Amino acid sequence: MSYKAKWALEGLEISDMDKVEKENYKFIEKWKSRDDYLKDPEILLRALREYEKLTEMYGVGGNEMYKLGLESSLDQTDTKIKARYSQLHERAIRISNDLEFFTLKISKISSNTQEKFLKASQLQQYRYFLSRLFALAKYLLSEPEEKIMNLKSKTSHSNWVEMTQTKLSKEERNGKSFPEIMNLLNDRDKKTRDLAAKWFNEIMENHVDTAEHEINSILENERIDRGLRGYGRPDHPRLISDGMEPEVVDTLLETVSERYDISIKYYELKSLLMELKKLQYHERNVPYGEGLKGFDFENSARTIVKAFNKKDPYFGELAKRCLREGRVDAFPKKGKISGAACISNLKTQPIFILLNHTDKVGDLTTLAHEMGHMIHAELIRENQSGLNDGSSLAVSEVASTLMESFVIDELVEQNPQEIELEILMRRLNDSVSSIQRQAACYKFEQELHRSFENKGYLSNKEIGKIFGKHMNQYMGEFVERSEGSQNWWVYWSHIRNFFYVYSYVSGNLIAAALKKKYEQDHSFMNNIKHLLSIGNSKAPMEAFNDIGIDIRNRGFWEEGLNEQEKMLERAWTLSKNLGKI
């Protein structure tokens, strides 16, 4: 069976903004001047259902804006797409501003009325939605001020980030696009990857001055916003909006950073296996061994469908449907954004996956990861209404990591035991990159924000020094801080999406716990599907408690790290037994 490797965007209507505006302003005109829904649970229920239908069917941008965003990710150099998107964005912001009154008024009601609404039987479906509004109320400004905040968000953050990404996407060397160069960094041939690193470092150096101004601008904008809203520390806006207790994330980071010995010991083993005194910075992710081959897109897709089917036929069917319907754009090209992503918007719009597939086993696991996000989103859509669509970051990386591990299990089954070490090293590389490295990245972000607060502006050399400090801490002495690596923050998009990366750390450790429970009892898959179906209908803590997980407990995170250490010990034992070291 042949699967599609390009997005089929024809199903998204064109020029539907007039309809979007009409439906939004119908709602606005009906409820803007009323306050009865702020007092009576029955009337609030009617208003919420109408608001929910609006968010499911139209949002503020409709299909055309969604399609333009997708098309722009495939070609960031197309100015016609950017111009049309900008026109629609202005209209969407205007709608969003005029719609702001609804949730703002609800959030500002008295504490007595809040309690009444949260206890009302008819509003239980929206209980968590309402509780989040009430929790965020202290950080909300007046309606006119909120409109200003919406209006400036694109010019003060999004445009700056897009500028850097667009400049990088235009780069090429010797006919190779930027995403292709990034993939060559992990080539098994040392001359090839060293040449790719030379090109990559040149590109980073070319744009480091631009990125310096960009990141200082978005840091200043974040500081202004946080001050206006009255948030405390820099990561509070992220964690509060996620329903995540800051103390839990602090415990998570502290627990992981105390186990940097695992990642350091992993890089020591990798350098020995690759017969290098030290790994150069760009060699951190180079796969060990030669046994895993043949992962063209078609084979990768078939492997994933087979692996998912074994765990649960529902997972396999969703993956197959996504591949058949043209919702994966697989291959790199000039102008396309680098990396991979699962992209979704309204509940009624299809979910798309973006890849830069170059026929390597890492591309297989990346596709599995993004398929995990897609399955998570589909489970929520099937079980939750529009206002509970989406998920806290605390849960969002669990499904992707879990599905990736299922595919690695399939690789182990498909391949002879003599390449178990190769598979194990790949699992460890992904684990270290997602746990210790992302914890180090979070701490880098924390220091970056603190340093900006103290100094008011950071040079690219200062940013590079902070970046290098935290990368050194988790990598240790067996990874060389090669010249040029101080600029690798330039392309790292996650640090522009402030404090997002904790979700990789928690997601990997939680996924490991779920997988262990599933292996002990296959019926636990029902609990996993329950967790992935909750969406925003419950707080993350409550969702995890439903399936017997307490993420407040430091011991829970330590258990996950112990599982990681067991993998590493097995890799060392295999390496010695096979005479590799």
Q: What is the pLDDT of residue 418?
A: 65
Q: Which residues contact 201 (CB under 8 A, 6 or more apart)?
A: 483, 484, 485, 487
Task: Specify the DSSP class assigned to residue 156.
Answer: I
Note down pLDDT in tens along the chain; length 581 residues: 579 999 999 878 777 899 999 999 999 999 999 999 999 999 999 999 999 999 999 999 999 999 999 999 999 889 999 999 999 999 999 999 999 999 999 999 999 999 999 999 999 999 999 999 999 889 988 888 888 998 898 899 999 999 999 999 899 999 999 989 998 999 989 999 999 999 999 999 999 999 999 999 999 999 999 999 999 899 999 998 888 899 999 999 999 999 999 999 999 999 999 999 999 999 999 989 876 778 899 999 999 999 999 999 999 999 999 999 999 999 999 889 888 999 999 999 999 999 999 998 889 999 999 999 999 999 999 999 999 998 988 888 899 999 999 998 888 777 766 678 888 898 899 999 999 999 999 999 999 999 999 999 999 999 999 999 999 999 999 999 889 999 999 999 889 999 999 999 999 999 998 999 999 999 999 999 999 999 999 999 899 999 999 999 999 999 999 999 999 999 999 999 989 99
Asked if residues 262 and 436 have their Cβ atoms less than 8 Å apart, the reply is yes
Q: Which residues contact 189 (CB under 8 A, 6 or more apart)?
A: none
Q: Which residues contact 437 (CB under 8 A, 6 or more apart)?
A: 263, 471, 474
* Angstrom distances, CA of residue 249 to CA of 150, 240, 242, 425, 439: 28, 11, 11, 28, 10
Rounded CA-CA distance 93/8 in Å is 28
Asked if residues 503 and 376 have their Cβ atoms less than 8 Å apart, the reply is no
355 alpha carbon, distance to own chain's centre: 14
The angle at the Cα of 95, spanning 90 to 97, to the nearest 5 degrees, equals: 95
Structure-block tokens of residue 328: 């994966």
The angle at the Cα of 412, spanning 360 to 427, to the nearest 5 degrees, equals: 60
**For 176, phi and psi rounded to 5 degrees?**
-100, 130
Query: Any bridge partners for residue 341, and if so which?
Result: 354
Task: Specify the DSSP class assigned to residue 14.
Answer: S
C-alpha closest to that of 488 among 246, 208, 225, 160: 208
Rounded CA-CA distance 320/24 in Å is 35
Instruction: Provide the 3-class DSSP secondary structure of residue 343.
Output: strand
Rounded CA-CA distance 581/511 in Å is 31
Q: What is the pLDDT of residue 51?
A: 98
Rounded CA-CA distance 504/396 in Å is 9
Angle in degrees, 0-180, between the axes of helices 190-229 and 159-169, rounded to the nearest 10: 170
Instruction: Provide the 3-class DSSP secondary structure of residue 47.
Output: helix
Return residue ranges of the chain for CATH 1.20.140. Answer: 7-140
Task: Specify the DSSP class assigned to residue 3.
Answer: -
DSSP class per residue in 84-108: HHHHHHHHHHHHHHHHHHHHHHHHT
Q: Where are the beta strands (DSSP E) in 64-207?
A: 172-173, 176-177
Domain 7-140 has CATH 1.20.1280: no
Amino acid letter for position 326: G
Task: Specify the DSSP class assigned to residue 58.
Answer: T
Task: Specify the DSSP class assigned to residue 538.
Answer: S
Task: State the Rg of the chain over Cα.
Answer: 24
Rounded CA-CA distance 250/278 in Å is 32
Rounded CA-CA distance 569/330 in Å is 36
Rounded CA-CA distance 135/123 in Å is 17
Q: What is the pLDDT of residue 150?
A: 85
Q: Which residues contact 219 (CB under 8 A, 6 or more apart)?
A: 448, 449, 452, 458
Rounded CA-CA distance 200/171 in Å is 10
Instruction: Provide the 3-class DSSP secondary structure of residue 177.
Output: strand
189: left (phi over 0), alpha (psi -120 to 50) or beta: beta
Return residue ranges of the chain for CATH 3.40.390. Answer: 293-414+520-537
Domain 293-414+520-537 has CATH 3.40.390: yes
C-alpha closest to that of 41 among 136, 108, 125: 125
Q: How many CB atoms sit inside 10 A of residue 517's CB?
A: 18
